[in-house]
Every structure is written in C-alpha cells, then in structure tokens.
Amino acid sequence: MDSKLVYRSLRQISQWTLDGFYSEVHVSGQENIPEEGPLIITPCHHNEILDIATLSVTIPHRRPVCFWAKSSMFANPIARAIMTSSGSIPVRRNPNRTAGAGEKSEHGADSHFALFRETFRALDKGEVVGVFPEGTSYTEPHIAQVKEGAAWAALEYARWQMQHAAEYAEGSPKKLVIVPVGVVYTDKTRFQSKVLVRYGEPIDVEAYARRHLASNDPRAEVKELTAEIEKRLVDLTINAKDWDHHLAGTIVREICYPRLDESAPDSYVKHSQELMSRLEEERPDVTSKLATYAGLLHHTGLTHLALSSLYPLPTLPSRPSALFILLRESLTTLVHPRFLAFLPMALLHAPAYASGALAGRFLANRREPETIAEHKAVCAGLAFGATSALVGNRIAQTLHEGLCTAVKTGRLSGLPSAIVKACAWATRKGSLSASIARLAGTAVVIYCTTWLLFRWHRALVGWNYERMQRVSAAWTVALGVWFPPSRALTSAELERTSRSPLPKTNAFIKRASAPSPLPEIPRPPKHQVPSPRALVAHLFTVRAQAEAVSQQLLTARHATSS
C-alpha cells in the first residue's frame, strides 16, 4: 500500500499555511463525505494552490485527495515517484478540453479510457479524486463556467467498471458519488480573513450512468450531469451578475450584518446571496452608491467595521473629536496586556510580515487576485521558518554552552551518576555519536521553538490585527480632518476612486455570452489617485448614503420575509 509520504507532508504544510494566513477555516457538510468508496469532489477554484491546500486539510475522515496532473510530469522515474506519492493522477491531456475545429480527435470509449485510465484505477481502489470543473482558477463575481471533465470521468467510470470488472475490480461494482464543494473566502487576499468550506449533498451518478450507457448520444447525459454540478456549485457559493452588484452586496452585508462570518458562518453564503439577489431588483443608482463606497474604502485602505465602530455618527468628526479618538485608540492599544504579550511575536514575525507584503506586491499579479494569497502565505511562511530556525538554533547553542559549563564546574554533582555521565558524554568534543546527539537535540529545540512561536502568535494576532486596523482608521481620519486638501477634488479624481480596480479577465474562461457591459476599470497610476486623507470628507458623505440605502434594503427584506 502506497504510504503517500509526499502527500502527507504537503498536507501538513498546507495545514500550517492555512493556520498562518487565515484566522479560521470553517467546515460544514462533513456528513456528505462517505468514509470509504469511490468519490469525486468538484470544488470551485478561485484561489490557486490554496484551494488544493484547503481541500486536503478539511476533507472529512482525512481521506487523501488525488488531483489530475499532466502525464508529461510523470515521464522521469524520480518525478513519477514524487507525483505518485503526492496522490497526483496522470492524464494525457486536459480532460476538460474538447477538440476544436480542424483538430484530430479520438472517438468512442477508447478515447476516454485513455484519458481517464489512471482515474478509473484510483476510483476502483476507493480513493477520492478532486476535479476543479471550472478548468482554471479565476476571480469573477460568479461561477463563470463549468466544464465536462468531471462528468465524463464519472459516467465513463461506469462503462469501465462494466468492461474491466474482471481485471481490476473486486466483488460487486463500487457505487460512485460526486460531492460538489463550495470554498468561499471572506476576503481571499487579506491576512486574517476566513475560509468557509461547505461539502454539498452527494450527486448519485447511478441513474445518469444507466442512461449514459444506453444512449446513442453519450454527450447528452454528460451535459445533464455537468448542468447539475454547476447548479450545486452556484448554490454553494456567492454569485452576483456583475462586479457592481458584487461590491454593493458585500457592502450591504458589512453594514447590516457585521461579523456575520463569526456569528453565523453556516448562514454566511445564504444571507450574502439573498442580498445579491435583492440588489438585482433595485435601481442602478442604488447599486452605484454602494459600489462607490466600496471603492472609497479600497482607496483609503479602511474597512467599514473599523470606520463604523469608531465613528458611528454619519457626519465628519470635529478636529478635537478626531484627535481624541486617535489618542484613545493608540493608548488603549499600547497599554493593553494582549498587545504587550504580542509585541515580542510581532518583532520576531517582522521578517514574515515584510516578506508576505513584498511578495503580494511584486511577485503576484495584482490584477489576478487568485495569485496574491498564495505568494503572501508561502513567502511569509518561509521567512517565519528561517527566523524560528535561527532563534531555535541560538537557544540550543545557549543550552549546550550552559551544559558544558555545568559539567566543567561540577555543578551536576548532586544529580544521579547516570545523568552526570550522559551530560559529560553529550558535551564531549570529537565524538561522532555526541555530535549526532547534539544535532538531534538542536533539531528538537528548533521544532519546539517553532511550535511555541507559531501558537503564541496565532493566539494573539487576531485581536492585535483588528486593533491595528482601528488605529490606522483613526490616523487616516484625523489627518483628513486636521489637514484637508487645499482644494476640492475634481469630478475626474472622484471618478477614479469610485471603484476598486477590477481583476484581469481570465483568457481560459469560455463565456457563453458577451462579457458584462461594465467597462473594465484599470488600476490608475499612483500619482493620479488622491491621498487617503484627501478622500476622508467624501468618504463620510458616501458612507451616510450607503448606510441609508442598506437600511432600506434590510427593512424591505424583513417585510418580504414576514
């Protein structure tokens, strides 16, 4: 039996990565994952390799997940051993890809057997196969596409069972189910945001497979099953018809349901989707006001939660009030026991913070948000690992030097002779066995140091990160009140800050209809964007409008539900 050592190692690294970057990974629907038997999971794919990490860590019963990989990656024997141990399944070409015009394509079952042979073998062994049916990782306001690869694999597995049962299967054919998975990020690029994973209700493939095997047109049932997978994915995620509605719905949720991800994580997707759907019935100017507020929050670097908790009144604070709030927030943070306990960790994690910020800015494509978090998390994790190794090594050296001194001066004479002899042996120079023991001891100290620093940081970072956001908001507002711009902002300047830059359109998405009529909003040059302090007065005006609109929507929603 393959122990999949690489997979187990990667799963542990994934656990550390998620724990280090996100504040919580909430999982629901665990009852929908069977403990054994062939299973295909079809998750959404909006955050690159962190989606794979999330699935590997959260799948119930700790079942290993096998993902598709190009067969060319298995050509080298060493690479093949690594890929196999990681649980990857070789496929000859992208199973989601269909032959285009003028391309030579194989026909019939033999083509699909060639593409999915290793997938069928994995399923027949009762393993879990992970297929991202969207075919690519992307950032859109809705599920943009669902391709047919997962459906083909599931339905052709039934044919394979029938034709190869004697050769590969043991006993009666094993029942295959498909479980769609919604992976929703509250803000996937932001440190200390949350991940909400929902394993949906299983899709019984048996009825589809019977019709598929009896049909003269096998694509008909493939399309039916693909449509069902898409419907389930849409139900498990948050979908808006365009970016303005997505931004507007996000703002309404933050205004009407603050901390919804904490108070009711299982209802987060449901309430968010209800708000998105409600906004589609509203006038365009309502959506525009809310989206404008979202754009201003982006360009000022503030959050609505921090702003509304510090300044509950809709009007701009006076100068004394703004200064008082800044001093109050700064002082109450600096003298708080949680900050004082966190300060050593903040200093030790400074290289990790800097590495993550620099990676997100310079290594990731800022117009492809799905690439940002992975660069931040990986680079910050490597920096933290190096820092904790240095600290742990220094602690080990100090302990060894102290032990050597104690042995030389006879301070251990009061201990049992066996311990004294062991300490003398461990500090003896020139002994290979003693050197190996010292190396092993150093490794243990480094591991314990890393574990302690990681847990210490994780226990306190959430509160301190939120306090930092509050102090930052108080500082920005105080600057805007005390040092307002010398002139009124022009309409062009206000227009540039009315929306956050939209993500780059993914070239691998095949759209069934024309793209959204909303124009793509490029990232304006830095010198063309007013400073945050210059936007403060306008921010408060727009916030008041957004809060009024949100309350009207909430009242209408309650009236409809009652």
Range picked from 25-29, 124-128, 517-521 for highest mean pLDDT: 25-29
Strands 89-91 and 194-199, bridge-based pairing: unpaired
Distance between CA atoms of residues 87 and 130, nearest Å = 10
Q: Residue 522's pLDDT is what?
A: 55
Mean pLDDT of 511-517: 54
Whether residue 521 is predicted with pLDDT greater than 60 in this model: the reply is: no
Partnered with residue 43 across adjacent β-strands are: 181
Mean pLDDT of 397-409: 88
Asked whether the beta carbons of 150 and 128 are under 8 A apart, the reply is no
The CA distances from residue 249 to 98, 256, 291, 470, 544, in Å, are: 36, 10, 8, 23, 16
Distance between CA atoms of residues 386 and 352, nearest Å = 9
Asked whether the beta carbons of 83 and 73 are under 8 A apart, the reply is yes
279 phi-psi bin (left φ>0, alpha ψ -120 to 50, beta other):
alpha
Distance between CA atoms of residues 373 and 187, nearest Å = 10
Q: Which range among 325-339, 371-385, 518-532 shows the weakest confidence by mean pLDDT? A: 518-532
Query: Phi and psi at residue 507, in whole multiples of 5°?
Result: -70, -15
Token representation of residue 89: 């399944």
Whether residue 513 is predicted with pLDDT greater than 80 in this model: the reply is: no
Q: Residue 106's pLDDT is what?
A: 47
3 state SS of 39: strand
Q: Residue 435's pLDDT is what?
A: 84
Average predicted confidence (pLDDT) for the chain: 90
Question: For residue 57, what pLDDT band results from cuts at 50, 70 and 90?
Answer: very high
Q: Residue 502's pLDDT is what?
A: 92
Residues 6+ apart with CB under 8 A from 252: 275, 279, 290, 549, 550, 553, 554
Q: Residue 162's pLDDT is what?
A: 82
% the chain with pLDDT above 90: 70
Mean pLDDT of 81-102: 68
Q: What is the pLDDT of residues 279-305, one digit of tens each?
A: 999 999 999 999 999 999 999 999 999
- The amino acid at residue 345 is M
DSSP secondary structure letter of residue 31: G
Asked whether the beta carbons of 88 and 80 are under 8 A apart, the reply is no
Q: Which range among 168-182, 188-202, 262-276 shows the weakest confidence by mean pLDDT? A: 168-182
Token representation of residue 301: 């670097």
Distance between CA atoms of residues 152 and 147, nearest Å = 10
Q: What is the pLDDT of residues 237-283, one digit of tens each?
A: 999 999 999 999 999 999 999 999 998 999 999 999 999 999 999 99
Q: Residue 62's pLDDT is what?
A: 95
Q: Residue 517's pLDDT is what?
A: 46
The CA distances from residue 406 to 88, 393, 410, 414, in Å, are: 53, 20, 6, 12
Q: Residue 101's pLDDT is what?
A: 37
3 state SS of 42: strand
**320-324 — which CB contacts under 8 Å span 24+ positions?**
322/474, 322/477, 322/478, 322/481, 322/482, 323/478, 323/482
Query: Within 13 Å, how many C-alpha atoms sit on residue 305's CB side?
Result: 13
| Domains by residue range for the chain, with CATH | 5-94+112-237 (3.40.1130.10), 302-504+518-562 (no CATH)
Q: What is the pLDDT of residues 424-474, one digit of tens each?
A: 887 887 778 878 888 999 999 999 999 999 999 999 999 999 999 999 999
3 state SS of 253: helix
Q: What is the pLDDT of residues 138-154, one digit of tens each?
A: 999 999 999 999 999 99
Q: Residue 340's pLDDT is what?
A: 98
Q: Residue 68's pLDDT is what?
A: 84
Question: For residue 374, what pLDDT band results from cuts at 50, 70 and 90?
Answer: very high
Q: Residue 1's pLDDT is what?
A: 42
3 state SS of 189: coil
- The amino acid at residue 79 is A
DSSP per-residue codes, 71-139: GGGGSSHHHHHHHHHTT-EEESS-TT----TT-----HHHHHHHHHHHHHHHHHTT-EEE--TTSS---
Mean pLDDT of 183-198: 97
3 state SS of 27: strand
DSSP secondary structure letter of residue 487: S
Whether residue 197 is predicted with pLDDT greater than 90 in this model: the reply is: yes
Token representation of residue 511: 């759209």
Asked whether the beta carbons of 122 and 86 are under 8 A apart, the reply is no
Q: Residue 110's pLDDT is what?
A: 59
Whether residue 127 is predicted with pLDDT greater than 80 in this model: the reply is: yes
Asked whether the beta carbons of 329 and 474 are under 8 A apart, the reply is yes
Q: Residue 167's pLDDT is what?
A: 62
Asked whether the beta carbons of 198 and 271 are under 8 A apart, the reply is no
Whether residue 98 is predicted with pLDDT greater than 70 in this model: the reply is: no
Distance between CA atoms of residues 20 and 14, nearest Å = 10
Note the maximum CA span of the chain: 90
Token representation of residue 55: 């699935």
Distance between CA atoms of residues 380 and 385, nearest Å = 9
Whether residue 369 is predicted with pLDDT greater than 90 in this model: the reply is: yes
Q: Please give the angle made by the CA atoms of 520, 521 and 522, to the nearest 5 degrees.
A: 110
% the chain with pLDDT above 70: 91
Asked whether the beta carbons of 56 and 130 are under 8 A apart, the reply is no
Token representation of residue 283: 């006038």
Partnered with residue 195 across adjacent β-strands are: 25, 185
Partnered with residue 199 across adjacent β-strands are: 181
Query: Phi and psi at residue 120, in whole multiples of 5°?
Result: -60, -40
Range picked from 73-82, 134-143, 488-497 for highest mean pLDDT: 134-143
Whether residue 220 is predicted with pLDDT greater than 90 in this model: the reply is: yes
Whether residue 100 is predicted with pLDDT greater than 50 in this model: the reply is: no
Q: Residue 550's pLDDT is what?
A: 95
Q: How far apart are the first and last CA of the chain?
A: 58
Q: What is the pLDDT of residues 404-434, one digit of tens each?
A: 888 888 888 788 888 888 888 878 877 788 7
Q: Which helix (H) or strand (E) covers residue 543, if one does? A: helix 532-561
Residue 315, judged by CB atoms within 10 A of its CB (0-12, 13-18, 19+), counts as exposed
Q: Residue 118's pLDDT is what?
A: 87
Mean pLDDT of 167-181: 78
Residues 6+ apart with CB under 8 A from 132: 42, 43, 44, 45, 51
DSSP secondary structure letter of residue 528: G
3-state secondary structure 346-388: HHHCHHHHHHHHHHHHHHCCCCCHHHHHHHHHHHHHHHHHHHH
Q: Residue 524's pLDDT is what?
A: 56
Question: For residue 86, what pLDDT band results from cuts at 50, 70 and 90?
Answer: confident
Q: Residue 546's pLDDT is what?
A: 97
Q: Which helix (H) or strand (E) covers residue 57, if one does? A: helix 49-58
Residue 83 or 547, more confident: 547
